[in-house]
Amino acid sequence: MNKSALLAALIMALLGGFLLFGYLRRFEDEASGGAPVKLLVARKQIEPGTVVTEEMLAVRVVPAAYVETRAVREAEKSRVVGLRMGTPVQANQTLLWTDLAITADDKRDLSSLVQPGMRAVGVRAANDDRTFALIRPGDRVDVIATLPVEGSSARQSLVLLQNVLVLAVGIETSNDSNKSGAPAQQDLILNLSLTIPEAQLVALAQEKGRLSVALRNPDDLKTTDGVADLNSNLLTDTKIRKLVQDFRKQPTGPIKLPSAAGAAP
């Protein structure tokens, strides 16, 4: 074998080894939850009202797939040191932006809360709906759309999105549990953390009908697959109502509606 052929074979072997290494590395990252992300955690319990110092914080490495969107990255340490805590944080617990008491003087811009790849999208409540005032930044909600059925006076309700993070309520970006009183007009807008396709869905739904939100328990991150769309004509169907009511007893899967149950007559 001449030198040129030997060199070519060596280059091909090195290229193949490099590609194999890259594939194995990518496979390992995916299997382990993605690339590691450095997050800030509390060294010890931090009480509400305490000013955050560097000595109170440590770093934990977490796979990207398991990173909460509200978590504070190590690179953002300088932005949280000097702020006061709004809620108690236990030792070794990940520090969240919504844990911080952000006053009018050090309020964070909404744009700084939006994680890369996500968008802040506003959802406005109906004029007679005051439930948004009970929701706080950092809460998670399901988004439900109520839309007209084409060619019918009926309306259709569908679960548009599940387990969506609330970034802001009106102009408030902090989780202030002491907030009280009647909601101002700006409090009737929720800013949700959505992907671009989710933002498109919300824009279309707001154009065609009305959006509602269902508040979730903060520890309940599970979603339900195959949730059936419901038609307003089903309100008078006792069998369908029973199926919906029985779902409370065993909420482990989609509601099995009869064929074409959700269709307009």
Q: pLDDT by residue for the chain (265 residues), tens digit each? A: 566 767 667 777 777 776 766 666 665 655 556 778 899 999 999 988 888 888 999 999 988 877 887 888 888 887 788 777 888 899 999 998 888 875 444 455 677 777 778 899 998 876 556 677 778 888 889 999 999 988 888 889 899 999 888 888 877 776 654 444 444 444 578 899 999 999 999 999 999 998 989 898 877 778 888 787 878 877 777 777 777 777 666 655 555 555 444 444 4
Enter the pTM of the model: 0.56
Do 243 and 258 touch, CB atoms closer than 8 A?
Answer: no
Scored b (16 or more CB within 10 A) or e, 13-42 reads eeeeeeeeeeeeeeeeeeeeeeeebebbbb
Domain ranges (residues) in the chain:
1-28, 32-101, 114-223, 230-265
User: Which segments of the chain does DSSP mark as H helices, in order?
Assistant: 3-31, 77-80, 110-113, 196-208, 238-246
Distance CA 255, CA 227 (A): 6
SS (H, E, C) 82-121: CCEECCCECCCCECEHHHEECCCCCCCCHHHHCCCCCEEE
Which CATH architecture group holds 32-101? Answer: Alpha-Beta Complex (3.90)
